[in-house]
Amino acid sequence: MEIPYTVDTRADTGLNNVKLGIWLFLASEVMLFGGLFSSYVLLRVGAEAGTWPQGAEILSIPLATFNTIVLIGSSVTMVMAWASLKLRDLFKYRLYMGTTVALALVFLIVKAFEYADKFSHHLYPSESTFLGIYFLITGLHGLHIVGGIIVNSYFLLPGVKMWHTAPERFTNRVEAAGLYWHFVDLVWIFLFPVLYLL
Amino acid sequence: MSMDSAEDIKKHVKVYLMVFAALMVLTVITVGVASLSLTIPLAIALALVIATVKGSLVASYFMHLVSEKSPIYWTLMLTAAFFAVLMFVPLLAMLDSIGR
């Protein structure tokens, strides 16, 4: 059975189902990360005076700044990949989407170095409340990066064949993947100052 | 986002690049502000204001919220209301004096 309204807009919403569906998913994601941000605030304001470390005392600001630049860069290449499809330029799409996946991998590699450095100094999630919430939130964010890499790699390699049979539908798929990817970037934009700088 | 002609898309690509430049500048400002010896409330306020501006740029232009349809806005407003409730919980916990 054909999935309805993957390209055509519904008369009642004025949107195709792809767009509405991904935004509803992102709304649930806001609540997921919102719960953790709320927990962070609760734990921080409830901590005894002088017991909550400044992120910079434990974490590496240069590495996190580099990763922020990498992730913002990947957001730009993602939106450029979608724009390339709109311009009917498959070569540039492959170039930008490939760069997006590569930048996501760079982010994960840097994060792995950060984690390894913490573990080598015996700084585990069980060490303190700060480290517990740091590993929880950044770990969950990292899992979202992994999910994005899997989806974007699919659209870069096997999934791209849809372009030749249903280009508009494929473009909408890439737009939905892009909305998810920009959300992951947006979460990091808030995580960076909250965990590392304050 | 209603972008049909190639000219429209090329114009938007320029906007994406300008937003990218703005995000880079704001990232540098975020790190610069954190290195100043500000009081903690001021540092938190500044960091969150800059992060909100950056987030708004990403949502508005990369996620096309500047020209989205109303069902998306309604969905996000409902989400924002529930998010505000979540952020209100720590405040309620701080104000709770029962048993103290």
Q: Decide if pLDDT at B98 tops 80.
A: no
Is A72 in Cβ contact with B13 (below 8 Å)? no
Q: Do the beta carbons of residue A18 and residue A176 sit within 8 Å?
A: yes
Is A46 in Cβ contact with B16 (below 8 Å)? no
Q: Which residue of B has its CA nearest to A36?
A: B86
Predicted confidence (pLDDT) per residue in B45-77, tens digit: 999 999 999 999 999 999 999 999 999 999 999
The closest alpha carbon to B50, from B35, B32, B64, B37, belongs to B32
Residue A23's contacts (CB-CB under 8 Å, 6 or more residues apart) are: A179, B72, B75, B76
Q: Residue B13 domain-assigned?
A: yes
CB of B51 within 8 Å of any CB in chain A? yes
Q: What is the DSSP string of A171-193?
A: HHHHHHHHHHHHHHHHHHHHHII
pLDDT in tens, chain A (198 residues): 788 899 899 999 899 999 999 999 999 999 999 999 999 999 998 888 888 998 888 999 999 999 999 999 999 999 999 999 999 999 999 999 999 999 999 999 999 999 999 999 999 999 999 999 999 999 999 999 999 999 999 999 999 999 999 999 999 999 999 999 999 999 999 999 999 988
- CA A95/CA A48 separation, integer angstroms: 51
- CA B22/CA B28 separation, integer angstroms: 10
Domain boundaries, position B18: 6-95
Best to test chain B binding among A24, A38, A45, A61 (most B CBs inside 10 Å): A38
What ipTM was reported for this prediction? 0.93
Please name the residues between 60 and 79 in chain A that touch chain B, using a CB distance below 8 Å.
61, 65, 68-69, 72-73, 75-76, 78-79
Q: Residue B1 domain-assigned?
A: no
Predicted confidence (pLDDT) per residue in A45-68, tens digit: 888 888 899 888 899 999 999 999
Is B78 in Cβ contact with A69 (below 8 Å)? no
| Chain A / chain B CB contacts < 8 angstroms | 119
Q: Do the beta carbons of residue B9 and residue A83 sit within 8 Å?
A: yes
The tally of domains found in chain B comes to: 1
Q: What pLDDT does B1 receive?
A: 46
C-alpha Rg value of chain A to the nearest Å: 19
- Ordered structural domains, chain A, with CATH: 33-46+55-197 (1.20.120.80)
Q: Residue B100 domain-assigned?
A: no
Q: Residue B24 domain-assigned?
A: yes
